[in-house]
Structure 1
Amino acid sequence: MKKKKLVVLTGAGISVESGISTFRDAGGLWEGHDIMEVASPEGWRKNQDLVLDFYNQRRKQAATCEPNSAHKELARLEKFFDVHIITQNVDNLHEKAGSTKVLHLHGELFKSQSTLDPSLIYEMDGWEIKKGDTCEKGSQLRPFIVWFGEMVPMIEPAAELTEEADIFAVIGTSLAVYPAAGLIEYTKTTIPKYLIDPHLPTTRSYLNLRKIPEKATLGTLLMSEEITRLYA
């Protein structure tokens, strides 16, 4: 029998329990920096050294983090469902946990990108991008991160996946960052939907929406038990 398609949108809340901090917890500051200094094209043009160092430190820290039970449970669910992860996170914890279909909306921390040609993207060996590291066209490498004010090229494939979902879940996100927050609008009204976060965001009422006001680790386990029993 064909597996049902489970599409899961994850946000910072799923990685917090692995020790990865979020900038939103600190009033718009991220590790002491104004977010626009380190996550905008203007900030990059103004101070490349600062931006490179900022992401080098994030990368160095993320390399020591391990997936938690929520990441692992989503990977385990591939036994029962056709699981597609759409993540707003730039870490690689879903992949580390064993998930095989992960779409990163906002880029990937462990990849670099040409400043001149955005289509040139490279896997990184270590945690550092240095000033003077260039692409094959001689342009400085930058973090492969979608910054504020930039297009989100993966939003269309994410919307298409969401439209095809038989079950849809949102884990660890405030649903405040667009366009990702709008993905739930693409779900079919009849399918089961789950919203997992200790601080449940205010949403309009959706048919078949189950809210689980728990951290990602416990909430994902509760959802997993339910959907495996009802839909696998």
Structure 2
Amino acid sequence: MKNLVVLTGAGVSAESGVNTFRDAGGLWEGHDVMEVASPQGFARNPELVLDFYNKRRAQLKEVEPNEAHYCIAGLERNFNVYIITQNVDDLHERAGSSRVLHLHGELLKARSSKTDDHVIEHRDDISMGDKAADGSQLRPHIVWFGEEVPMMDRAVEIVQQADILMIVGTSLQVYPAAGLRNFIASHVHTYLIDPAPAVSSNDRLTVISKKATQGVREVADLITQF
């Protein structure tokens, strides 16, 4: 079977009711993103940061995968599907996808505040005093601003093996999706699903100006005809 690599971002989960990362004013749920998504913010006010992600974790438990998630999972019947997502939710996994790489971490995991080792499953609140195996304070397993993206090398390896690339819920103007596309082979065709695309279709790119739930189904119909 051909290798289908799917890059996903906030737009694929937005139709499930998951709030996007930040609004036009640079705020995330009323907070400056650097207050709640940086090592410096965690050092200044760890209680605020833990509470912020505890609320995001609680919200995640109230939403369900949407048709885009299920359609991508269903493509495993015809392709070797590898998902590389910028999302920290577990909606791809809940929809049935078996190979999901999270570039920016996972909301339902926690790790040491000293190292990116000692990662554990953690579905409940993280409180001050909750310790990692190395004795440090537990923190969300999220890649914050200023931190390295530890799974990027693996993502590049996956993209290099793609026969087809689908990008949904994230713009070709936004990294890492934009950068990863540079690693596909010259024969690989890319499908971009974006309700307000900043690029146009060409010989190697098909742009579908629709929301994720509509666009993914359209791409699925196109590629299963190959």
TM-score by shorter chain over 0.5: yes
1:176 Cα deviation from its structure 2 partner: 4.1
The equivalent of 2:100 in structure 1 is 102
Contact 1:155 1:180 in 2 (8 A): no
* Alignment of structure 1 residues 44-59 onto 2, 5 Å: 44-59=42-57
> What is the deviation of 1:178?
2.6
Structure 2 SS opposite 1:84? strand
In the alignment, the residues of structure 1 paired with residue 188 and residue 173 of structure 2 have an alpha-carbon distance, to the nearest angstrom, of 23
Matches within 5 A, 1:1-232: 3-124=1-122, 126-202=123-199, 207-230=203-226
Residue by residue over 1:119-162, the C-alpha shift from the partner in whole angstroms, topping out at 9 and shown as x without a partner, is 110001x3300110001221100000000000001111101110
Q: Distance in 2 between matches of 1:206 and 1:112?
A: 42
The DSSP-based 3-state class of the residue aligned with 2:116 is coil
CA contact (8 A) 1:112 1:142 kept: yes
Cα distance in 2 for residues equivalent to 1:215 and 1:179: 20
RMSD over aligned CA atoms reads 1.3
In structure 1, distance between residues paired with 2:131 and 2:51: 16
TM-score of the superposition, structure 1-length normalised? 0.94
> Once superposed, which parts of structure 1, at least 4 consecutive aligned residues long, lie more than 4 Å away?
none
Q: Which structure 2 residue ranges, 5 or more long, are not aligned?
A: none
CA distance in 1, matches of 2:45, 2:76: 43
Deviates more, 1:17-26 or 1:60-69: 17-26
Q: CA deviation at 1:206?
A: 6.2
TM-score, with structure 2 as normaliser: 0.96
Q: Assess if the C-alpha contact under 8 Å between 1:169 and 1:193 holds in 2.
A: yes
The structural deviation recorded for 1:202 is 3.7
- Which structure 1 residue ranges, 5 or more long, are not aligned? none
Residues 118, 132 of structure 2: 8 Å contact kept: yes
The aligned length equals 226
- What percentage of aligned pairs have identical amino acids? 56
Pairwise CA distance, 1:186: 0.7
